[in-house]
Amino acid sequence: MAKNNVVDKIAAAVKPIIEAEGLELVDVEYVKEGGNWYLRIFIDKLGGVDLDDCQAVSEKIDTLLDELDPIPQAYFLEVSSPGLERPLKKPADFERFKGHLVNITTYAPINGTKSFTGKLMDYTPEGIQLEVKGNTILLPHQQVASSRLAVEF
């Protein structure tokens, strides 16, 4: 099974468990680092998650994954918050974080750059609207490789 299919299958399986705990599934990653495979599940809720949330979800997901056995090789399961620079993936993420500082990377240069940091102004069917250094720009959805919150210093 392809890596993306594994991630999609796992996300679909764990989402009801996470939502039953009053939490949101933010993202699922399945990556190889230093010779080891890691399945990372990022959860959140208003006010943030704590260690107890992560532990409760981890225990329930671990049991489910043992039953489903979607990954043939050994891996480490990690359940955590998405952190300060959480990814923005769903339209609801962009709506929730309007007015916040974000980092967006595009597949190809737009106006000579592939990396944009600015205030998230809007999320429309046409694209993501940012205010960058006093100018408003629209980044078409099909050009966006990744979007995350940015930390303001």
Query: What would the pLDDT profile of 11-60 be if each residue is shown by its tens digit?
Result: 999 999 999 999 999 999 999 999 999 999 999 998 899 999 999 999 99
Do 95 and 67 lie in one domain? The reply is no
Dist. CA 64–CA 94, nearest whole Å: 30
Q: What is the pLDDT of residues 68-115, one digit of tens each?
A: 888 988 999 999 999 889 999 899 999 999 999 999 999 999 989 999
Coarse DSSP helix, strand, coil percentages of the chain, rounded to the nearest 5 percent = 30, 40, 30
**75 with 115, same domain?**
no
Residue 85 lies in a domain: no
Q: What's this model's pTM, rounded to 2 decimal places?
A: 0.80
Residues 69 and 33 in one domain: yes
- Do 65 and 95 lie in one domain? The reply is no
Place 140 in a pLDDT band, splitting at 50, 70 and 90.
very high
Range(s) of the domain holding residue 23: 3-80
Q: How many Cβ atoms are within 10 Å of 71's Cβ, its own excluded?
A: 17
